[in-house]
Amino acid sequence: MARVLLGMSGGVDSSTAAALLMRAGHEVTGATLVMHDIHEYDAKAAKTVADTIGIPHVTVDMRGDFERFVLSRFVSEYEKGRTPNPCVLCNGYIKFPALIKTADSLGCEFISTGHYAAIGIRDGHPVITAATDKAKDQSYFLYMLGEDILSRLLFPLSGMTKPEIRAIAKELGIPSASSPDSQDICFIKDISCADFVAGRSKEPPKLGNFIDTEGKFLGKHKGISAYTIGQRKGLGIASTAPLYVGNIDPESRNITLCRENELYRTRVYAENCRYFAGEFPSYSFEASVSLRYTKKPGRAKVTYISEGKALIEFDTPQRAPAPGQSAVFFDGDDLLGGGIIAYSE
């Protein structure tokens, strides 16, 4: 059939993807991208799986690029009071471009991963579409991928559910068949995001003030990098009603706390926007827009403004849009594009 380079972490999803590609008649090579020292264990696990199912395996050291494009930005965004999404950046700038480059060097026509997503065609262009297993669907994280990558990308798990995947892995004797799903940011283990950022910052976190929506002082906080919009837990402020982080001002270092009903917004501005067909439409279009991976999409009108910026106007108010997170546009199961949330009102 074809030569395929498969991104492998050693986990059950990418391991089963390798087996499915082989069943389809493809000649498969596994590749582990080491983004961080933590991933050296993944490379060993992936090599074990590759030996078990009988495919070659290569390791590609991407720590330098990952540091520049993902880790440094992750820290600086939190220091600015924003909430970054490192998986979106890694997929767009590191993982998939690196797989393409490695595939070219090895003479592979296609690349593949164990993501829960699918490839379809829309208006003559390849487009990401949602996976069958909606509870596992990862299309939200893939909106930065361009047509040059999508035209060479295979998603073997697109039509499968997690129990089906585990059953295949168990049948093949894959070591990770019963491993728990990974839930956390891949480069952070056993500590909070706030502690990770504090450990990499050039100076200690600067304390600031909690204030209410009228500017009244409520208490001191431990640095804006420890908080995100919509957060309730860990504030340490006594109140007769629950309080949430409503706004973070990096200049004054004031964090405004508000009631839950005050978190909702109807207008969200996004920057660094991408569109599946390349050039962003000059006209407004209707879409279902997700403001976080775990958040149900809301219906909205998306209007391109200029220089990669777009205005998203929701039919109903959306809870706690967080600057730094991604606003991702869908039409049904089709992924149309997305951008980084700049601010909301």
Catalytic positions: 90, 186
- With a CB cutoff of 8 Å and minimum separation 6, the contacts of 162 are 133, 135, 136, 181
Q: What spatial distance separates the first Cα and last Cα of the chain, rounded to whole Å?
A: 52
Q: Rounded distance, CA 110 to CA 5, Å?
A: 6
Cβ–Cβ under 8 Å, residues 205 and 222: yes
Comparing CA positions, the residue from 124, 115, 162 lying closest to residue 143 is: 115
Helix (H, G, I), strand (E, B) or coil at 312: strand
Q: How far is CA 14 from each of CA 123, 133, 185, 210, 238, rounded to the nearest angstrom?
A: 30, 16, 17, 45, 46
Q: What does the radius of gyration of the chain's CA atoms come to, in whole angstroms?
A: 21
Measured at the alpha carbon of residue 286, what is the angle toward residues 282 and 287, in degrees to the nearest 5?
A: 110
Helix (H, G, I), strand (E, B) or coil at 105: helix
Cβ–Cβ under 8 Å, residues 327 and 314: no
Helix (H, G, I), strand (E, B) or coil at 63: helix
